[in-house]
A and B are shown apart, each in its own frame.
Chain A
Amino acid sequence: MSEAMAVENVLFVVAKILFATIGVGLSIAGFLGWVERKQSAVMQDRIGANRAAILGINVLGLFHPIADAIKMLTKEDFVPAGAHPFLHALAPMISLGSAMFCLAAMPYGGVIQYAGRAWDLQPIALSEGLPLVLAALALGVHGIFMAGYATGSNYGLLGAMRGAAQMIAYEVCLVSTLAGILFIYGTLDLQAAVSWQARHGVWGVFLQPLAFVLFLTAGAAVTKRAPFDLPEGESEIVGYHVEYSGMKFGMFLMTDLFESIVICALITTLFLGGWTIPFMDLPAKGLLGGVLMVSSFIGKLMLLLFFLMQVRWTLPRFRFDQLLDLGWKNILPLSLINFVATIWAAYL
Chain B
Amino acid sequence: MTVTIRPVSRPARTFVTQVYVFEVWRGLAITFRHLFVNLFRHTMSLLGIKGFAPGAVTIQYPEDPAVLGKRARTRHRLLKRPDGAVRCTACLLCETVCPAKCIRITAEDAPDPGIEKRAKTFDIDLGLCVFCGYCVEACPVDAIHMDANQVEISSFHRKNMIWSMPELLGDAPKRYDPPESIR
Which residue of chain A lies nearest to B27 when distances are taken between CB atoms in the complex? A314
Which residue of chain B lies nearest to A326 when distances are taken between CB atoms in the complex? B20
Which residue of chain A lies nearest to B59 when distances are taken between CB atoms in the complex? A47
Given A42-B38, A42-B42, A314-B31, also A47-B24 (CB < 8 A): no
Q: Does B24 lie within 8 Å of A42, measured CB to CB?
A: no
Q: Which residues of A contact B35 (CB under 8 A)?
A: 39, 42-43, 310
Q: Which residues of A contact B58 (CB under 8 A)?
A: 46-47
Count residues on chain A whose CB falls below 8 Å from chain B CBs: 13
Q: Does A46 lie within 8 Å of B34, measured CB to CB?
A: no
Q: Which residues of A contact B100 (CB under 8 A)?
A: none
Which residue of chain A lies nearest to B46 when distances are taken between CB atoms in the complex? A60
Q: Does A43 lie within 8 Å of B34, measured CB to CB?
A: yes
B11 to chain A, nearest CB (A): 15
The reply on A321 being an interface residue by CB < 8 A is no
Which one of B24, B34, B38, B56 lies within 8 Å of A315 (CB-CB)?
A: B24
Q: In the bound complex, what is the Cα–Cα distance between A43 and B55 (angstroms)?
A: 10
Which residue of chain A lies nearest to B26 when distances are taken between CB atoms in the complex? A314
Q: In the bound complex, what is the Cα–Cα distance between A45 and B42 (angstroms)?
A: 11
B62 to chain A, nearest CB (A): 10
Q: Which residues of A contact B56 (CB under 8 A)?
A: 41-42, 45-47
The reply on B39 being an interface residue by CB < 8 A is yes
Q: Which residues of A contact B31 (CB under 8 A)?
A: 43, 310, 313-314
Residue-by-residue, is B13-46 near A (CB-CB < 8 Å gives 1, otherwise 0)? 0000000000010011011101100110010000
B3 to chain A, nearest CB (A): 31
Q: Does B28 lie within 8 Å of A310, measured CB to CB?
A: yes
Q: Which residues of A contact B28 (CB under 8 A)?
A: 310-311, 314
The reply on A44 being an interface residue by CB < 8 A is yes
Q: In the bound complex, what is the Cα–Cα distance between A315 and B28 (angstroms)?
A: 8
B23 to chain A, nearest CB (A): 9
Which residue of chain B lies nearest to A313 when distances are taken between CB atoms in the complex? B31
Q: In the bound complex, what is the Cα–Cα distance between A273 and B116 (angstroms)?
A: 91
The reply on B49 being an interface residue by CB < 8 A is no
Range, interface on chain B: 10 to 19
Q: Which residues of A contact B57 (CB under 8 A)?
A: 45-46
Which residue of chain A lies nearest to B38 when distances are taken between CB atoms in the complex? A42
Q: In the bound complex, what is the Cα–Cα distance between A46 and B57 (angstroms)?
A: 6
Within 8 A of A (CB), among B72-128: none
Q: Does A42 lie within 8 Å of B55, measured CB to CB?
A: yes
Q: In the bound complex, what is the Cα–Cα distance between A42 and B39 (angstroms)?
A: 7
Q: Does B38 lie within 8 Å of A310, measured CB to CB?
A: no
A221 to chain B, nearest CB (A): 14
Residue-by-residue, is B129-161 near A (CB-CB < 8 Å gives 1, otherwise 0)? 000000000000000000000000000000000
Within 8 A of B (CB), among A292-348: 310-311, 313-315
Q: Which residues of B contact A315 (CB under 8 A)?
A: 24, 27
Which residue of chain B lies nearest to A39 when distances are taken between CB atoms in the complex? B35
Q: Which residues of B contact A45 (CB under 8 A)?
A: 34, 38, 55-57
Q: In the bound complex, what is the Cα–Cα distance between A315 and B34 (angstroms)?
A: 15
Q: In the bound complex, what is the Cα–Cα distance between A18 and B58 (angstroms)?
A: 41
Q: Which residues of A contact B38 (CB under 8 A)?
A: 42-43, 45
B52 to chain A, nearest CB (A): 14
Q: In the bound complex, what is the Cα–Cα distance between A109 and B60 (angstroms)?
A: 45
Q: In the bound complex, what is the Cα–Cα distance between A225 and B130 (angstroms)?
A: 40
Within 8 A of B (CB), among A164-209: none
B131 to chain A, nearest CB (A): 27
B63 to chain A, nearest CB (A): 11
A58 to chain B, nearest CB (A): 12
Which residue of chain B lies nearest to A51 when distances are taken between CB atoms in the complex? B60
Q: In the bound complex, what is the Cα–Cα distance between A44 and B27 (angstroms)?
A: 13
Q: Does A310 lie within 8 Å of B32, measured CB to CB?
A: yes
Q: In the bound complex, what is the Cα–Cα distance between A314 and B28 (angstroms)?
A: 6
Q: Which residues of B contact A44 (CB under 8 A)?
A: 34
Q: In the bound complex, what is the Cα–Cα distance between A310 and B29 (angstroms)?
A: 10
Q: In the bound complex, what is the Cα–Cα distance between A164 and B60 (angstroms)?
A: 43
A128 to chain B, nearest CB (A): 34
Q: Which residues of B contact A41 (CB under 8 A)?
A: 56
Task: Specify which of B28, B30, B31 lies most central, judged by the most chain A CB atoms within 10 Å of its CB.
Answer: B31
Which residue of chain B lies nearest to A316 when distances are taken between CB atoms in the complex? B27
Q: Which residues of B contact A313 (CB under 8 A)?
A: 31
Q: Which residues of A contact B32 (CB under 8 A)?
A: 43, 310
Q: In the bound complex, what is the Cα–Cα distance between A65 and B125 (angstroms)?
A: 43
Q: Which 7 A-B pairs have the closest CB atoms?
A: A43-B35, A47-B58, A314-B31, A47-B56, A43-B34, A43-B31, A42-B38
Known interface pairs A43-B32, A43-B34, A315-B27; 14 further A-B residue pairs with C-beta atoms within 8 A, sorted by A's residue number: A39-B35, A42-B34, A42-B35, A42-B56, A44-B34, A45-B38, A45-B57, A47-B56, A47-B58, A47-B60, A310-B28, A310-B32, A314-B24, A314-B31
Binding site for B on A (CB under 8 A): 39, 41-47, 310-311, 313-315
